Protein backbone atom coordinates (compact mmCIF):
# COMPACT_ATOMS: atom_id res chain seq x y z
CA UNK A 1 0.00 0.00 0.00
CA UNK A 2 1.44 3.34 -1.02
CA UNK A 3 0.94 6.30 1.27
CA UNK A 4 1.51 9.99 0.88
CA UNK A 5 1.82 12.99 3.13
CA UNK A 6 1.94 16.73 2.57
CA UNK A 7 0.78 19.92 4.20
CA UNK A 8 -3.00 20.27 4.69
CA UNK A 9 -4.58 23.16 2.81
CA UNK A 10 -8.20 23.29 4.01
CA UNK A 11 -9.30 25.29 7.03
CA UNK A 12 -12.19 24.57 9.39
CA UNK A 13 -14.77 26.35 7.27
CA UNK A 14 -13.70 24.44 4.15
CA UNK A 15 -13.72 21.12 5.98
CA UNK A 16 -17.22 21.89 7.21
CA UNK A 17 -18.30 22.82 3.68
CA UNK A 18 -17.20 19.36 2.52
CA UNK A 19 -19.20 17.86 5.37
CA UNK A 20 -22.30 19.77 4.30
CA UNK A 21 -22.06 19.29 0.53
CA UNK A 22 -20.35 15.92 0.27
CA UNK A 23 -18.08 17.05 -2.54
CA UNK A 24 -15.45 19.61 -3.46
CA UNK A 25 -14.48 20.77 -6.94
CA UNK A 26 -11.01 21.80 -8.15
CA UNK A 27 -11.46 23.30 -11.61
CA UNK A 28 -8.73 23.03 -14.22
CA UNK A 29 -5.88 22.33 -11.81
CA UNK A 30 -4.07 19.69 -13.89
CA UNK A 31 -1.76 21.02 -16.59
CA UNK A 32 -2.60 20.81 -20.28
CA UNK A 33 0.44 18.59 -20.86
CA UNK A 34 -0.63 16.04 -18.25
CA UNK A 35 -4.20 16.11 -19.58
CA UNK A 36 -2.88 15.44 -23.09
CA UNK A 37 -0.72 12.53 -21.93
CA UNK A 38 -3.61 11.10 -19.93
CA UNK A 39 -5.95 11.22 -22.91
CA UNK A 40 -3.33 9.54 -25.09
CA UNK A 41 -2.80 6.84 -22.48
CA UNK A 42 -6.54 6.23 -22.21
CA UNK A 43 -6.83 5.97 -25.98
CA UNK A 44 -4.20 3.24 -25.90
CA UNK A 45 -5.67 1.57 -22.80
CA UNK A 46 -9.38 1.95 -23.38
CA UNK A 47 -10.61 -0.63 -20.85
CA UNK A 48 -12.76 0.15 -17.85
CA UNK A 49 -9.93 -0.24 -15.33
CA UNK A 50 -6.66 1.21 -16.66
CA UNK A 51 -5.00 0.81 -13.26
CA UNK A 52 -1.52 0.54 -14.77
CA UNK A 53 -1.58 4.30 -15.30
CA UNK A 54 -0.60 4.45 -11.63
CA UNK A 55 2.83 3.13 -12.68
CA UNK A 56 3.43 6.32 -14.67
CA UNK A 57 5.39 8.89 -12.68
CA UNK A 58 3.99 11.80 -14.71
CA UNK A 59 0.44 10.71 -13.78
CA UNK A 60 1.28 10.17 -10.12
CA UNK A 61 2.96 13.55 -9.80
CA UNK A 62 0.67 15.55 -12.08
CA UNK A 63 -2.69 14.10 -11.04
CA UNK A 64 -2.66 11.77 -8.04
CA UNK A 65 -0.31 13.96 -5.99
CA UNK A 66 -1.36 17.29 -7.42
CA UNK A 67 -0.60 19.77 -4.61
CA UNK A 68 -4.00 21.47 -4.43
CA UNK A 69 -5.88 18.20 -4.38
CA UNK A 70 -3.44 16.34 -2.16
CA UNK A 71 -3.58 19.19 0.35
CA UNK A 72 -7.34 18.86 0.55
CA UNK A 73 -7.12 15.08 0.86
CA UNK A 74 -4.52 15.47 3.61
CA UNK A 75 -6.94 17.77 5.43
CA UNK A 76 -9.83 15.33 5.21
CA UNK A 77 -8.08 11.95 5.50
CA UNK A 78 -5.22 12.80 7.80
CA UNK A 79 -1.50 12.18 7.54
CA UNK A 80 -0.02 9.41 5.46
CA UNK A 81 -3.23 8.85 3.53
CA UNK A 82 -3.37 5.84 1.23
CA UNK A 83 -2.98 6.39 -2.49
CA UNK A 84 -5.27 4.78 -5.07
CA UNK A 85 -4.61 1.20 -6.10
CA UNK A 86 -7.49 0.91 -8.56
CA UNK A 87 -8.43 3.20 -11.43
CA UNK A 88 -11.70 3.15 -13.35
CA UNK A 89 -12.45 5.09 -16.48
CA UNK A 90 -16.06 5.93 -17.25
CA UNK A 91 -15.32 6.46 -20.92
CA UNK A 92 -18.34 7.07 -23.07
CA UNK A 93 -19.09 7.85 -26.65
CA UNK A 94 -21.54 10.72 -26.65
CA UNK A 95 -24.45 11.17 -27.02
CA UNK A 96 -25.83 8.92 -24.29
CA UNK A 97 -28.95 8.95 -22.14
CA UNK A 98 -28.60 9.76 -18.45
CA UNK A 99 -27.48 6.97 -16.18
CA UNK A 100 -29.68 5.86 -13.31
CA UNK A 101 -29.17 7.63 -9.98
CA UNK A 102 -27.08 5.57 -7.60
CA UNK A 103 -24.39 5.56 -4.99
CA UNK A 104 -21.55 3.16 -5.51
CA UNK A 105 -21.71 -0.31 -4.04
CA UNK A 106 -19.70 -0.96 -0.91
CA UNK A 107 -20.96 2.17 0.72
CA UNK A 108 -21.37 2.51 4.49
CA UNK A 109 -23.56 5.50 5.37
CA UNK A 110 -22.58 7.48 8.45
CA UNK A 111 -20.48 10.38 9.73
CA UNK A 112 -17.17 8.60 9.20
CA UNK A 113 -14.88 9.52 6.33
CA UNK A 114 -12.42 6.71 5.77
CA UNK A 115 -12.11 7.01 1.99
CA UNK A 116 -12.77 9.62 -0.65
CA UNK A 117 -13.86 8.95 -4.19
CA UNK A 118 -12.28 11.20 -6.78
CA UNK A 119 -13.17 11.99 -10.39
CA UNK A 120 -10.76 13.54 -12.92
CA UNK A 121 -11.67 14.94 -16.34
CA UNK A 122 -8.65 15.03 -18.66
CA UNK A 123 -10.70 16.88 -21.27
CA UNK A 124 -13.28 19.63 -21.12
CA UNK A 125 -16.61 18.36 -19.87
CA UNK A 126 -19.37 20.78 -20.84
CA UNK A 127 -22.99 19.93 -20.19
CA UNK A 128 -23.39 18.37 -23.64
CA UNK A 129 -20.75 15.70 -22.82
CA UNK A 130 -22.66 14.32 -19.86
CA UNK A 131 -20.77 15.48 -16.77
CA UNK A 132 -21.36 13.64 -13.53
CA UNK A 133 -24.52 14.90 -11.86
CA UNK A 134 -24.31 14.98 -8.07
CA UNK A 135 -27.00 15.50 -5.48
CA UNK A 136 -25.37 17.80 -2.91
CA UNK A 137 -25.89 16.66 0.67
CA UNK A 138 -27.10 13.20 -0.36
CA UNK A 139 -24.19 11.49 1.38
CA UNK A 140 -26.51 11.72 4.39
CA UNK A 141 -29.56 10.54 2.45
CA UNK A 142 -29.78 6.87 3.14
CA UNK A 143 -32.11 5.01 0.83
CA UNK A 144 -31.97 1.48 -0.45
CA UNK A 145 -29.70 1.71 -3.48
CA UNK A 146 -32.12 -0.02 -5.80
CA UNK A 147 -34.96 2.30 -4.79
CA UNK A 148 -33.33 5.24 -6.55
CA UNK A 149 -33.32 3.81 -10.05
CA UNK A 150 -36.63 5.27 -11.22
CA UNK A 151 -35.76 8.83 -10.22
CA UNK A 152 -35.19 11.45 -12.87
CA UNK A 153 -34.71 15.18 -12.53
CA UNK A 154 -34.01 16.29 -8.94
CA UNK A 155 -34.20 19.86 -7.68
CA UNK A 156 -30.84 21.14 -6.48
CA UNK A 157 -28.67 18.68 -8.38
CA UNK A 158 -25.22 19.83 -9.44
CA UNK A 159 -23.70 19.11 -12.84
CA UNK A 160 -19.92 18.89 -12.64
CA UNK A 161 -19.42 21.00 -15.76
CA UNK A 162 -15.74 21.84 -15.79
CA UNK A 163 -12.69 22.50 -17.95
CA UNK A 164 -10.01 19.93 -18.73
CA UNK A 165 -7.86 19.11 -15.74
CA UNK A 166 -10.66 19.35 -13.21
CA UNK A 167 -10.76 17.05 -10.22
CA UNK A 168 -13.55 16.68 -7.71
CA UNK A 169 -13.56 14.90 -4.39
CA UNK A 170 -16.69 13.15 -3.18
CA UNK A 171 -17.96 11.41 -0.10
CA UNK A 172 -18.38 7.82 -1.30
CA UNK A 173 -22.05 7.83 -0.29
CA UNK A 174 -23.11 10.74 -2.47
CA UNK A 175 -25.86 10.07 -5.00
CA UNK A 176 -24.66 10.59 -8.55
CA UNK A 177 -25.12 9.60 -12.13
CA UNK A 178 -23.76 10.33 -15.57
CA UNK A 179 -26.01 13.07 -16.91
CA UNK A 180 -27.45 12.85 -20.39
CA UNK A 181 -25.23 14.01 -23.24
CA UNK A 182 -26.21 15.40 -26.59
CA UNK A 183 -22.80 16.35 -27.97
CA UNK A 184 -20.52 14.02 -29.89
CA UNK A 185 -17.13 12.53 -29.17
CA UNK A 186 -15.35 10.59 -26.46
CA UNK A 187 -15.43 11.64 -22.84
CA UNK A 188 -13.11 10.16 -20.23
CA UNK A 189 -13.93 10.34 -16.54
CA UNK A 190 -11.22 8.77 -14.41
CA UNK A 191 -12.23 7.55 -10.97
CA UNK A 192 -10.16 6.37 -8.01
CA UNK A 193 -10.18 6.33 -4.19
CA UNK A 194 -7.90 7.59 -1.46
CA UNK A 195 -7.85 6.02 1.98
CA UNK A 196 -7.46 7.03 5.61
CA UNK A 197 -4.61 5.33 7.45
CA UNK A 198 -4.50 7.47 10.61
CA UNK A 199 -7.15 8.28 13.21
CA UNK A 200 -9.15 11.46 12.56
CA UNK A 201 -7.88 14.57 14.26
CA UNK A 202 -8.12 18.31 13.73
CA UNK A 203 -4.74 18.74 12.06
CA UNK A 204 -5.91 20.76 9.08
CA UNK A 205 -5.36 24.54 8.83
CA UNK A 206 -6.76 26.00 12.04
CA UNK A 207 -8.91 29.05 11.52
CA UNK A 208 -8.68 31.09 14.73
CA UNK A 209 -11.98 32.81 13.94
CA UNK A 210 -13.87 29.56 13.63
CA UNK A 211 -16.05 28.66 16.59
CA UNK A 212 -17.82 25.26 16.55
CA UNK A 213 -20.45 26.67 18.91
CA UNK A 214 -21.64 29.26 16.39
CA UNK A 215 -20.52 27.83 13.04
CA UNK A 216 -23.05 27.59 10.22
CA UNK A 217 -23.96 23.92 9.86
CA UNK A 218 -26.93 24.63 7.60
CA UNK A 219 -27.06 23.11 4.14
CA UNK A 220 -28.31 25.76 1.75
CA UNK A 221 -30.41 23.77 -0.70
CA UNK A 222 -33.04 21.04 -0.71
CA UNK A 223 -32.06 18.57 2.01
CA UNK A 224 -34.76 15.90 1.51
CA UNK A 225 -34.61 15.29 5.25
CA UNK A 226 -36.60 16.50 8.23
CA UNK A 227 -35.97 20.09 9.26
CA UNK A 228 -32.51 20.71 10.77
CA UNK A 229 -31.36 17.13 10.17
CA UNK A 230 -28.83 18.69 7.77
CA UNK A 231 -27.28 20.62 10.68
CA UNK A 232 -27.16 17.53 12.87
CA UNK A 233 -25.52 15.45 10.15
CA UNK A 234 -22.91 18.02 9.14
CA UNK A 235 -21.99 18.74 12.76
CA UNK A 236 -21.63 15.06 13.55
CA UNK A 237 -19.37 14.49 10.55
CA UNK A 238 -17.28 17.55 11.42
CA UNK A 239 -16.85 16.30 14.98
CA UNK A 240 -15.93 12.85 13.70
CA UNK A 241 -13.23 14.42 11.55
CA UNK A 242 -11.91 16.32 14.58
CA UNK A 243 -11.56 13.00 16.37
CA UNK A 244 -14.17 14.11 18.89
CA UNK A 245 -17.15 12.05 17.89
CA UNK A 246 -17.46 10.82 21.45
CA UNK A 247 -18.27 14.38 22.50
CA UNK A 248 -21.01 14.82 19.92
CA UNK A 249 -24.38 15.04 21.58
CA UNK A 250 -27.71 16.66 20.71
CA UNK A 251 -30.26 18.08 23.12
CA UNK A 252 -32.78 18.88 20.39
CA UNK A 253 -35.18 21.80 20.42
CA UNK A 254 -33.62 25.09 19.46
CA UNK A 255 -30.27 24.01 20.80
CA UNK A 256 -26.95 23.62 19.04
CA UNK A 257 -26.26 23.22 16.14
CA UNK A 258 -29.39 24.61 14.46
CA UNK A 259 -29.24 28.22 13.23
CA UNK A 260 -30.92 31.16 14.96
CA UNK A 261 -30.55 34.85 15.78
CA UNK A 262 -29.54 34.30 19.40
CA UNK A 263 -28.23 36.80 21.93
CA UNK A 264 -25.87 34.23 23.41
CA UNK A 265 -24.22 30.94 22.51
CA UNK A 266 -26.70 28.14 21.82
CA UNK A 267 -27.74 25.73 24.53
CA UNK A 268 -26.38 22.24 24.12
CA UNK A 269 -22.91 22.99 22.78
CA UNK A 270 -20.92 19.83 23.55
CA UNK A 271 -18.64 20.29 26.52
CA UNK A 272 -14.90 20.34 26.09
CA UNK A 273 -14.89 21.52 22.50
CA UNK A 274 -12.11 23.97 21.76
CA UNK A 275 -12.16 26.66 19.12
CA UNK B 1 -54.26 10.12 -33.13
CA UNK B 2 -53.21 6.50 -32.68
CA UNK B 3 -55.57 3.72 -31.78
CA UNK B 4 -53.67 1.99 -29.00
CA UNK B 5 -54.39 3.10 -25.46
CA UNK B 6 -51.40 3.21 -23.10
CA UNK B 7 -50.85 4.21 -19.50
CA UNK B 8 -48.87 7.39 -18.94
CA UNK B 9 -47.02 7.48 -15.61
CA UNK B 10 -45.82 10.51 -13.70
CA UNK B 11 -43.44 10.19 -10.76
CA UNK B 12 -43.44 13.26 -8.56
CA UNK B 13 -41.34 13.48 -5.41
CA UNK B 14 -42.72 16.22 -3.16
CA UNK B 15 -41.16 17.89 -0.15
CA UNK B 16 -43.96 16.73 2.18
CA UNK B 17 -46.98 14.46 2.02
CA UNK B 18 -49.15 17.43 1.12
CA UNK B 19 -50.23 17.60 -2.53
CA UNK B 20 -49.61 21.34 -2.35
CA UNK B 21 -45.95 21.00 -1.33
CA UNK B 22 -43.15 21.76 -3.73
CA UNK B 23 -42.12 19.05 -6.17
CA UNK B 24 -38.43 18.22 -5.70
CA UNK B 25 -38.05 15.51 -8.34
CA UNK B 26 -39.80 14.15 -11.38
CA UNK B 27 -39.79 11.60 -14.16
CA UNK B 28 -42.46 10.88 -16.73
CA UNK B 29 -43.42 7.98 -18.98
CA UNK B 30 -45.54 9.39 -21.75
CA UNK B 31 -46.67 7.48 -24.83
CA UNK B 32 -44.28 4.70 -23.88
CA UNK B 33 -41.25 7.00 -23.72
CA UNK B 34 -39.30 7.78 -20.51
CA UNK B 35 -38.18 11.36 -19.95
CA UNK B 36 -36.62 13.23 -17.04
CA UNK B 37 -38.39 16.38 -18.16
CA UNK B 38 -36.86 19.85 -18.51
CA UNK B 39 -33.44 20.54 -17.00
CA UNK B 40 -34.54 23.61 -15.06
CA UNK B 41 -36.91 22.82 -12.18
CA UNK B 42 -38.77 26.04 -12.93
CA UNK B 43 -39.71 24.53 -16.29
CA UNK B 44 -41.04 21.25 -14.90
CA UNK B 45 -44.65 20.71 -15.99
CA UNK B 46 -45.96 20.65 -12.42
CA UNK B 47 -44.62 22.41 -9.35
CA UNK B 48 -47.03 20.59 -7.04
CA UNK B 49 -48.94 17.31 -7.13
CA UNK B 50 -52.16 19.32 -7.02
CA UNK B 51 -51.27 21.01 -10.30
CA UNK B 52 -50.88 17.59 -11.91
CA UNK B 53 -54.22 16.40 -10.56
CA UNK B 54 -55.88 19.53 -11.92
CA UNK B 55 -54.39 18.65 -15.31
CA UNK B 56 -56.06 15.25 -15.40
CA UNK B 57 -53.52 13.00 -13.67
CA UNK B 58 -54.86 10.48 -11.14
CA UNK B 59 -52.86 9.48 -8.09
CA UNK B 60 -52.32 5.72 -7.98
CA UNK B 61 -49.75 5.63 -5.15
CA UNK B 62 -49.33 7.87 -2.16
CA UNK B 63 -46.03 8.35 -0.30
CA UNK B 64 -44.79 5.27 1.53
CA UNK B 65 -44.97 6.43 5.12
CA UNK B 66 -43.38 3.24 6.41
CA UNK B 67 -40.09 4.66 5.16
CA UNK B 68 -40.36 7.38 7.76
CA UNK B 69 -40.58 5.06 10.75
CA UNK B 70 -36.85 5.25 11.36
CA UNK B 71 -36.32 8.98 11.03
CA UNK B 72 -32.68 8.77 11.98
CA UNK B 73 -31.74 6.44 9.17
CA UNK B 74 -34.05 6.14 6.20
CA UNK B 75 -35.08 9.07 4.08
CA UNK B 76 -35.36 8.28 0.39
CA UNK B 77 -36.02 11.19 -1.92
CA UNK B 78 -38.96 13.18 -0.69
CA UNK B 79 -42.52 11.93 -0.57
CA UNK B 80 -43.30 10.11 -3.75
CA UNK B 81 -46.63 10.32 -5.53
CA UNK B 82 -47.17 8.20 -8.64
CA UNK B 83 -49.89 9.33 -11.01
CA UNK B 84 -51.36 8.01 -14.22
CA UNK B 85 -53.49 9.08 -17.09
CA UNK B 86 -54.48 7.56 -20.35
CA UNK B 87 -52.27 8.13 -23.34
CA UNK B 88 -52.29 6.91 -26.91
CA UNK B 89 -49.69 5.50 -29.23
Rounded mean pLDDT of A156-168? 97
- Looking at the predicted structure, is the pLDDT value of residue A14 above 60? yes
Residue among A152, A155, A226 whose CB faces B27 most closely: A152
Percent of chain A with pLDDT over 70: 100
Nearest CA in chain A to B81: A151
Rounded mean pLDDT of A191-211? 97
* B77·A98 Cβ contact <8 A: no
- The residue length of chain B stands at 89
- Looking at the predicted structure, is the pLDDT value of residue A21 above 70? yes
Percent of chain A with pLDDT over 90: 89
- Looking at the predicted structure, is the pLDDT value of residue B46 above 80? yes
What is the reported pLDDT for B2?
57
- Looking at the predicted structure, is the pLDDT value of residue A82 above 70? yes
What is the reported pLDDT for A203?
96
Instruction: Show the CA angle centred on residue A157, arms to residues A155 and A161, nearest 5°.
Output: 140
Q: pTM of the full predicted structure?
A: 0.92
Quote ipTM for the complex: 0.79
What is the reported pLDDT for A257?
97
- Looking at the predicted structure, is the pLDDT value of residue B49 above 60? yes
* B25·A143 Cβ contact <8 A: no
pLDDT, tens digit, 9 for 90 and up, residues A106-143: 888 899 999 999 999 999 999 999 999 999 999 998 88
Name chain A contacts of B34, Cβ cutoff 8 Å.
Answer: 152
- Looking at the predicted structure, is the pLDDT value of residue A90 above 70? yes
Q: How many helices, marked H, and strands, marked E, lie in chain B?
A: 1, 5
Average pLDDT over all residues of chain A: 95
What is the reported pLDDT for B88?
77
* Contacts with A247 (C-beta within 8 Å, 6 or more apart), sequence order: A239, A270, A271, A272, A273
Q: Greatest CA span in chain B, whole angstroms? A: 50
Interatomic CA distance for residues B28 and B83, integer angstroms: 9
Sheet strand arrangement including A158-159: A158-159, A132-134, A176-178
Q: To 10 degrees, what angle do helices A12-21 and A229-242 make?
A: 130
pLDDT, tens digit, 9 for 90 and up, residues A227-240: 899 999 999 999 99
Query: Is B70 an 8 Å CB contact of chain A?
Result: no
- Looking at the predicted structure, is the pLDDT value of residue B69 above 90? no
Query: Is B83 an 8 Å CB contact of chain A?
Result: no
* A142·B75 Cβ contact <8 A: yes
What is the reported pLDDT for A184?
96
Highest mean pLDDT among A99-108, A169-178, B68-77: A169-178
What is the reported pLDDT for A95?
97
User: How many CB atoms lie under 10 A from the CB of residue B48?
Assistant: 18
pLDDT, tens digit, 9 for 90 and up, residues A207-265: 999 999 999 999 998 988 888 999 999 999 999 999 999 999 999 999 999 999 999 99
Amino acid sequence: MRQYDCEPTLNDTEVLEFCKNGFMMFEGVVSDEINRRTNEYLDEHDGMEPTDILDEDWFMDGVIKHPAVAGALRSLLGKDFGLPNLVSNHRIQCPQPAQEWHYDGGDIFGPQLNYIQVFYYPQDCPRELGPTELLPGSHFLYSERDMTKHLGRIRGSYHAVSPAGSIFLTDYSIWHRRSESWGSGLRNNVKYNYWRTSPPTRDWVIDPGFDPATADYTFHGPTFRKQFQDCYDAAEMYFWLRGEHDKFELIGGQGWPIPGNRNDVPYGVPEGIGR
Amino acid sequence: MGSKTVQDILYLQASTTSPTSEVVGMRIIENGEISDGPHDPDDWPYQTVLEAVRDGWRVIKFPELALMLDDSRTFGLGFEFILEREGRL
